[in-house]
Amino acid sequence: MRCYACPRQCGAERTENTPSAGFCKMPYNAVLARAALHHWEEPPLSAHGGAGAVFFSGCSLRCVFCQNHAISHENFGKPVTIDRFIEILKALEAAGAQNIDLVNPTHFAPFLQEALTRYKPRVPVVYNTGGYDTVETLKSLSGLVDIYLPDFKYMSETLARRYSAAPDYPERAKAALLEMRRQTRDRFADDGRMLSGLLVRHLVLPQGTKDSAEILRWIAENLSKDTYVSLMCQYTPGDRTYTHKALNRRLTTAEYDRVLRVFFNLGLHNGFMQARDSADARFTPAFDLTGV
């Protein structure tokens, strides 16, 4: 198939098991690095049993600070057939997963559309995306995805180009979030588990508080002040040194508090905040083909 799943629109030929010449370098079949219960998502997603997290390899973005660098940039993982993918979903359900958490799925959207049409899990399906999606691809998943969990990384084209090689990210993300909102309505079980809806994530970056404020303002004005927003302070440079000096340190408490004040001043009230000790590499799971 010629692939136009992500905004790169590279039109690469993708076959079942052969790496493509496209931006993501992935075949048509999903390439997975891990499939296991994950307890570190937002409370409505992890709940009491953990999210059934399926980590996909490759990426349509090139975020220089990606914590999952080994799979997103280095493409570590194992291709699976649709039959095997469905077996993995069923195994996660049997293990008590509160949902099926598809982590970074954008470039495998055609595969997922086929797989989820053949087997729709009994628990909610979460589309855990970097926010760099096309409206057309999202429409193809309507009715198959229950919860959209997108990042909204940047409002600034300059930052999007500098850190993710995607100057069109802001416009793509805004259009994508509006389509996600159109498709879903927020519903929760009595025990607090999210059953359907939209939860927008934003990672506050060092020296990025102005951009964070613009993102929150857009959410309040274009989605609604009832939108569920997860403000993350978990950025850590790890063991890497960046050419962008701002990324060579952690976020300060003052920076994070500044963004929290903006959140409340805008009248947003459905929010999830992170403790400062979340900025630690130990929260990154082991990509060792567990469950694959």
Residues contributing to the annotated binding site: 59, 63, 66
Residue 118 CB coordination number (10 Å): 11
Residue 117 CB coordination number (10 Å): 11
Q: Which residues pair with 229 in a beta bridge?
A: 200, 271
The stretches of 184-244 forming alpha helices (DSSP H) are 209-222
Q: Which residues are annotated as a binding site for [4Fe-4S] cluster?
A: 59, 63, 66
Token pair, residue 270, equals 């459905």
Identify whether the C-beta of residue 195 lies closer than 8 Å to the C-beta of residue 189: yes
Question: Number of helices (H) and strands (E), helices first, in the chain?
Answer: 9, 12
**How wide is the angle at C-alpha 230 spanned by C-alphas 229 and 231, nearest 5°?**
110
Helix or strand or coil: residue 44? helix
**Could you report how far apart the first and last alpha carbons of the chain are, in Å?**
24
Q: Which of 37, 58, 31 lies closest to 292 in space, CA to CA?
A: 31
Identify whether the C-beta of residue 99 lies closer than 8 Å to the C-beta of residue 122: no
